[in-house]
Structure 1
Amino acid sequence: MAVNIIASSDLKINRTLSQGQLRQLKLDEANALYHAQSFSEERPPVFKSLAHEIIALLTLTCGPSLATMNQGAMLIALPHVGKSFGISGSELSWTISAFALSSGTFVLLLASIADNIGRKRMVVVAYVWYALWCLVSGFMKRDIEFDVFRGLQGLSGAAAAPAAVGIIGATYVPGKRKNRAMATFSAGAPIGFIVGIICGGICTQFISWRAFFFFSTILYSVLAILVWYSAPDDPHMHWSEMKENLSKLDYFGALLATSGLVMFVFALTQSGATSKGWAEPYVIALLIVGIVTFAIFMFWESKAKNPLMPLGIWFYPGFALSMFIVACGFMNFLGVLNYYMTLIFQEVRDASAILTTAYLVPQAVCGVLVNVFAALTLHVIPGRILMFIAMTAFTVSALLWALQPIHLIYWAMAFPSICLSVVGADLAYNVANMHTLSAVPPESQSSAAGIFNTVFQLSAAIGIAASTTIVHTAADRSSHTGVQQLYDSYQAAFWFAVGVSGVGTIASGFLKVGTQGRKAADTDEEKVEEATKTTIISSP
């Protein structure tokens, strides 16, 4: 039996070879490509100098910083926002959820648009969009309008992060330099958080919580200009070509996904706000319709010509399981831990905004250190081990809050919990992000990053919605009154976080993700698979 080989490398081969000759040729080509291209430590040629590379990388890193900076500031300001608008409970939770929900539901569509009009263009538009709606939000006097504009801000988070990570993923080849670039990018989340809590604390304490939005307007207007001049250029594309590409996008799929997820999260949130809870007819109706609508979306995606979420991405090795684990972790981290510990500091322990800022600073500092650790070890320690460590840290962090007495000093349990939470967040983010980029081809990386950010943001929205319901129910069942009743209800949310992250910890034991950016493959077979991506066609 002879075979024809069609190789996907630069050297095209189309000839009849014996099995032995074919295997040797494949191995030789794999070795050449593997060492000459895949693991080069040279600076990408699109950057004129090291300074140019650093500026571009830092401005792109502000993509994931956008959401966490916003969240950090709003968490610090949350009690003051509630007093300003006269709201609490589930109504107050929408000031956080609106941003996360719009980010999660629109990220797939905006990631697809980025792939079709240019990722750099999308990052610039996202930064300008965010600056605009931050400016408008700062002047709102009613909570409903404020929440709407918070949702519009969230669209920028949906657009910026996947487009930015797509630029980095397509610019760098696998290796230590890419690991460092991605760790820098991932550090944007904790750095954004620390900037958010510091700026939010200072603005809330000494000026007004609204001042943070004006600061964000100035910052991201400047960043938009820097991205335009420093980030790698998009491929040249005529407006007519862009228009044609945009016309092919799956807008009906986007409508199904958005409406289904919004109804689902709204039902979860409102179940804790109404007097009847889950017995309220419209709550049950919205929950059922939301689930059914999302199921229709999944069916539509399997048949669509240009699907918004290509279902094939979920079948790449380890991708689906890593997304499930990340969802468990960030439902804990963003949906419970960060939200309720801020309320405990200010509402239960009567800390000022600036003191709460000081309490949370160690979380961001540890986050930067964890990202440095990840940059140095992703090519040495298998991802499955790092993910297991991350999920264990999440679980222990939530457990410390669930068991913590109401007036225990900060250093005894709150401080280690804060540090452990970010060990979980940043290790999980790094492993999942690097695996996403290595598992899919470059042309699909923004779509894959869009799925990752959808999971990331929706887990926060669903976590807040579910925990709000749990807190409301626990408060009704508590035998205490006043501050102790409030604290009991918050601890119930932390027990929910323990359960969710515990499931993720168990699941991480089944994850098969190895090291990222190694200099040598484990076997010759891996070299063939990764470097040649060869298709072999048998001939009679």
Structure 2
Amino acid sequence: MEIDTTPGPSPFDTPRLSTRDRLVLFVLCAAQFMVALDFSVLNVALPVLGPDLGMSQWALQWAVTAFALPSGGFLLLFGRIGDLYGRRRLFLTGLALFGAASVLAAFAWDPASFLAGRALQGIGSAAIVPTGMSLLTTTFAEGPARDRALGISGTLLSLGFTVGMVAGGVMTDVLGWRSTMGMLALFSLIVLPLAPGLLPESRTPERPRLDVPGAVTVTGGLLSVIYALSTAADRGFGHVDVIATSAAGLALLTAFVLVESRTEAPLVSLPMLRRRTVAWGNLGGLVTFSMMSTLVFVLTLYFEQTLNLSAFRTGLVFGVAGVLSAIAGAYAPKVIGRFGARRTLVGSLAGQGVLTGALLGLNTDVWSVWLATAAISLACVCHLGAIISYGLTVTSGVPDTEQGLATGLVTSTQQVGITVGIPLLGVLATTSSDLLTGLHTVVAVETTIVLTAAVLVALGLRKRRADADAAVSATARVEALDAR
């Protein structure tokens, strides 16, 4: 079954959720928000954290990489384990591990203990994200109810990243860097007691054997690729570690495809990857995440190094974007209901591309901050629309038995997108003759990529629709001949 991307009912036909549904949504979205916070809350604390723990500049890179490696590497594996052995069980396990790891990181006494806490946070995140999304899509039926739930979830995911940047700066200045990790532990303590009594258990009715060769190759491949991209940002793409792990990652992912094509119960269904909605939807998700994460990174450098804004004022700029994104998230399900997921995804990508291009007008004048604030805020609104519509495009029409796989693909795309953008494009800004020139280069490249992706997604999903129409016409002709 493929997703129906035709316009839906009136945008005012938003369903009312029961009290229990609201509580379930609160638990699931709070967990997703907590993970989104972890992506950004520590960034502004690193300059303070390093000297306090005696970490070198290279070791500080591992404060980010130690979380990103397991968080992205184990997503598909944990999504499938949840499908087979219980999503609720794995979700609760991930929450408990994430909370304990946050306590360890908050009370870390040396670099090794802190990095161990970050790595365990990443493992907990890899369990929380795909199972939480699967529980959401299996709890709320496909249609307006799921659209609304995904809209709220996507809004909080985007808002969590932005809030983390603002909160991280304030908390580090007032309470110290350890408070950022303590806040994450507090979130888990709030969510964990509520979850067992609210969340239903769900798993596939069959109990096939876990695809161990597939799990080993895809997890190893993702770990290698994410390590290579994360390390390239610090050491460059020509470093021997980057070359070796890139080659290993590509070899393992190639082996994974071969294994999956010959396994009776594969970890990833290759026919699912051939679904146009899955392939083109994930392309849209990869582009919107990778380009926006890079843009935020480069603009942060521009605000603080070219316009000489403080970290707090820089956070406020992105706070405006976060507020507008939250407001847009409340209306996103209505927009999707009116225009369909495909049109919303294409339109959102096009809007993000055009608004990114507007940043070519930035210069060294301090008043440029107003142009930047307006453009990045509206671009974030479009970015949020792309997040919600691509997640809906990929997961709609997928049987409940494969929701863990579909949402694992969605969240893997998010993680890889966040990881890949800065090493690939951020280096253009940091290695240019001056930061403003580098910013303009990044903006030009991003605009081209996002607008190209919008065209490709539109054509790819339109072709699927044309194929479906042709199939219907062929069936009608056959029926007409039979009638004769």
Q: TM-score range by the shorter chain?
A: 0.7 to 0.9
Cα RMSD over matched residues?
3.3
Paired residue for 1:344?
302
Q: Which has the larger radius of gyration?
A: 1
Paired residue for 1:424?
382
Q: Give deviations 1:367-408, integer Å, cap 9, x for gaps.
A: 112212212121210223211222123323433445421343
1:176-195 map, 5 Å: 176-195=144-163
The count of aligned residue pairs is: 458
1:254 correspondence with 2:215 = yes
Q: Give deviations 1:154-188, integer Å, cap 9, x for gaps.
A: 22222222212222222222332332222122222
1:372 correspondence with 2:330 = yes
Gaps of 5+ in 1: 1-7, 9-38, 44-49, 479-484, 515-521, 529-540
**Partners of 1:147 and 1:421 in 2: how far apart?**
34
Contact 1:100 1:154 in 2 (8 A): yes
1:309 correspondence with 2:258 = no
* Partner residue of 1:507 out of 451, 456, 471: 456
Bigger drift between 342-351 and 304-313 goes to 342-351
**Partners of 2:252 and 2:427 in 1: how far apart?**
23
1:436 correspondence with 2:394 = yes
**Partners of 2:59 and 2:323 in 1: how far apart?**
31
One-letter amino acid matched to 2:74: F
Cα 1:278–1:213 change in 2 (3 A) is closer
Paired residue for 1:456?
414
Contact 1:162 1:453 in 2 (8 A): yes
* Partner residue of 1:67 out of 35, 41, 47: 35
**Partners of 2:188 and 2:143 in 1: how far apart?**
31
One-letter amino acid matched to 2:106: G
* Partner residue of 1:383 out of 309, 328, 341: 341
Partner SS, residue 509 of structure 1: helix
Paired residue for 2:478?
none
Q: Give deviations 1:428-468, integer Å, cap 9, x for gaps.
A: 11111112222311111111000111111011111122235
Q: Give deviations 1:3-28, integer Å, cap 9, x for gaps.
A: xxxxx9xxxxxxxxxxxxxxxxxxxx
Bigger drift between 446-455 and 152-161 goes to 152-161
* Partner residue of 1:217 out of 181, 185, 190: 185
Bigger drift between 286-295 and 487-496 goes to 487-496
TM-score (norm 2): 0.84
Partner SS, residue 309 of structure 1: coil
Contact 1:81 1:209 in 2 (8 A): yes
Q: Which has a greater percent of helix?
A: 2
Cα 1:146–1:486 change in 2 (3 A) is farther
**Partners of 1:226 and 1:302 in 2: how far apart?**
41
1:383-422 map, 5 Å: 383-409=341-367, 411-422=369-380
**Partners of 1:394 and 1:142 in 2: how far apart?**
42
Contact 2:204 2:401 in 1 (8 A): no
Cα shift at 1:76 = 3.5
Cα 1:160–1:408 change in 2 (3 A) is same
Paired residue for 2:82?
114
Contact 1:93 1:464 in 2 (8 A): no
Contact 2:65 2:230 in 1 (8 A): no
* Partner residue of 1:131 out of 92, 99, 102: 99
1:162-177 map, 5 Å: 162-177=130-145
Cα 1:377–1:152 change in 2 (3 A) is same
Counting aligned pairs with the same residue, the percent is 21
Cα 1:513–1:232 change in 2 (3 A) is farther
Contact 2:76 2:409 in 1 (8 A): yes
Partner SS, residue 405 of structure 1: coil
Contact 1:63 1:123 in 2 (8 A): no
* Partner residue of 1:264 out of 221, 225, 232: 225
1:328 correspondence with 2:287 = yes
